[in-house]
Amino acid sequence: MLVCHCNIVTQKEVEEAIIALLDDDPWQLLVPAKVYHSLKKRGRCCGCFPNVVDTIIRVTEEYHRRSDTGGAEIVTHLDRVRALRGQYGSRMHERRTTGNRAA
């Protein structure tokens, strides 16, 4: 499934890039620009970034759950990040409707 239409990036490529970055440093802060940079791409319209943030949260949760390193604390922190996104960040999605978010 395509996540980014501007760069022709699939969901699987994003997930693999996130896992590769987490393998390098499991505690680094991942943002869409960093993931795209590792794919040698960059945001153009950036309309896909909210989806990429959701993917980063989901894949990071799964990664740390599998690695058994303080999983309970990490999930709590990610729940707080998710709540902050709902509170501040992801209501408008670049003026796109929620239906537009599914690539």
Binding footprint of ligand FES on the chain (CB under 6 A): 4-7, 43-48
Minimum CB distance to ligand FES smaller for 9 or for 59 = 9
Query: Nearest 5°: phi and psi at 42?
Result: -150, 155
- The CB-of-66 to ligand FES minimum distance in angstroms stands at 28
- The CB-of-102 to ligand FES minimum distance in angstroms stands at 13
86, exposed or middle or buried, with CB in 10 Å at 0-12, 13-18, 19+? exposed
Minimum CB distance to ligand FES smaller for 4 or for 59 = 4
Query: Nearest 5°: phi and psi at 31?
Result: -130, 160
